[in-house]
Amino acid sequence: LNTSMKGLSVLKLGGSVITDKTTPEAVDTDTLETVVETIGSAVTSGESASTTGHERQTSAERSKKDIGNLNHHSHAEHEGLIIVHGGGSFGHHHAERHNVSTTTGTSDAAAIWEIHDAMRRLNDTVIEALHAVGVPAIPVHPLSVATRDENSTLEIPIDPFSRMLAQGYVPVTHGDIVIDSQSGATILSGDEIVVSVAEGLTADRVGLCSTVSGVYDDDGSVIPKITTYESVADVLGDSETTDVTGGMAGKVRTLLNLEMPAHIFGPTALTEFFAHKQVGTSIQ
Ligand code: IP8
């Protein structure tokens, strides 16, 4: 199996974009819908719009039709997309409640289940929203397939992703809790998955759709390009709301380790990201 996907984009939808981080388990339905519509038109090249006039169709029927269309044209119209979403007020709320982080683990099966279950339910919501706009999304749940080894290195199989992509599907995975050989089970950030999957499949580019328009400088302007952590260490503060995986500083560090270009941008720039334009802050 050829694991190099030319033209592949890996897009992370930040947990704070699709959920209301101030309220436990609250989906930000409006933003999710807007973001998903943009993904829908990018992936289906406007085809989903042609079905919106069919009022009698249920959304399931509509998505079936669109998914059929997409399968038929997938290779010509888009070259592959993997979506990874964060935890927002689903994952982070439960992780904090059980005092679990990327380094502090738990061996309590009930805690593991509660954190995973919240993420799985958020993932269901994202998948359903994508189907409603004709995106052939299918889930990949990290807890069942990914682990951390003795050195805390993430091991996530790439084959499910490449085979799903090869058949024209859009794999949708998420931050999760995973079995950790050192400490029971620890939090796996969506950002870590983005890095592993983008590298494993030699993706062309990575996008982090966040609530901010990019990485801000001291004067409030968006820094167009970051090439070293030192150059921005002073301006990167901690995330203000509950985030067990490191906030913006952690994201920048993680993305600097990537071989392909990454962009951090806000939801309004998503269309331009899909149009391959320079958006938000590029990290290279
Ligand atoms: O929001 C964290 O994922 P992230 C997932 O991508 C959990 O850092 C379970 C807190």
Question: What is the mean pLDDT for each group of 10 consecutive residues in the chain (284 residues)?
Answer: 73 96 95 97 64 38 46 52 97 96 96 98 98 97 97 95 96 98 95 94 96 92 94 73 65 87 96 94 95
Task: Check residue 233 and give its pLDDT.
Answer: 86
Distance in angstroms (rounded) separating the CA atoms of residues 279 and 282: 7
CA of 64 to the centre of ligand 1 (A): 30
Evaluate: CB of 91 within 6 angstroms of ligand 1: yes
DSSP string, 19-84: B-TTSTT-B-HHHHHHHHHHHHHHHHTTGGGGGTT-TTS-HHHHHHHHHHHHHHHHHHH---EEEE
Task: Check residue 247 and give its pLDDT.
Answer: 75
CA of 83 to the centre of ligand 1 (A): 14
Would 265 be classed as within a structural domain? yes
Identify the CATH number of the domain in which residue 194 sits.
3.40.1160.10
Task: Check residue 3 and give its pLDDT.
Answer: 57
* Rounded alpha-carbon distances, angstroms, from residue 35 to 15, 23, 106, 130, 267: 13, 20, 34, 10, 7
Give the residue, out of 13, 176, 208, with the most ligand 1 atoms within 8 A of its beta carbon, to mutate for a pocket test.
Answer: 176
Would 2 be classed as within a structural domain? no
Would 3 be classed as within a structural domain? no
Would 279 be classed as within a structural domain? yes
Task: Check residue 251 and give its pLDDT.
Answer: 83
Residue 170 sits in which domain range? 9-283
Evaluate: CB of 176 within 6 angstroms of ligand 1: yes
ipTM associated with this complex = 0.98
To which residue do tokens 């930040």 refer?
Answer: 14
CA of 48 to the centre of ligand 1 (A): 30
Residues 6+ apart with CB under 8 A from 76: none
Would 162 be classed as within a structural domain? yes
Evaluate: CB of 15 within 6 angstroms of ligand 1: yes
Three-class SS of residue 251? Answer: helix
Distance in angstroms (rounded) separating the CA atoms of residues 94 and 110: 11
Evaluate: CB of 92 within 6 angstroms of ligand 1: yes
Evaluate: CB of 177 within 6 angstroms of ligand 1: yes
Would 147 be classed as within a structural domain? yes
Evaluate: CB of 250 within 6 angstroms of ligand 1: no
CA of 96 to the centre of ligand 1 (A): 11
- Count: domains in the chain: 1
Task: Check residue 249 and give its pLDDT.
Answer: 84
Task: Check residue 62 and give its pLDDT.
Answer: 44
- CA quadruple 95, 188, 253, 34: dihedral positive or negative? negative
Would 1 be classed as within a structural domain? no
* Pairing of the two strands 205-209 and 154-155: unpaired
Would 216 be classed as within a structural domain? yes
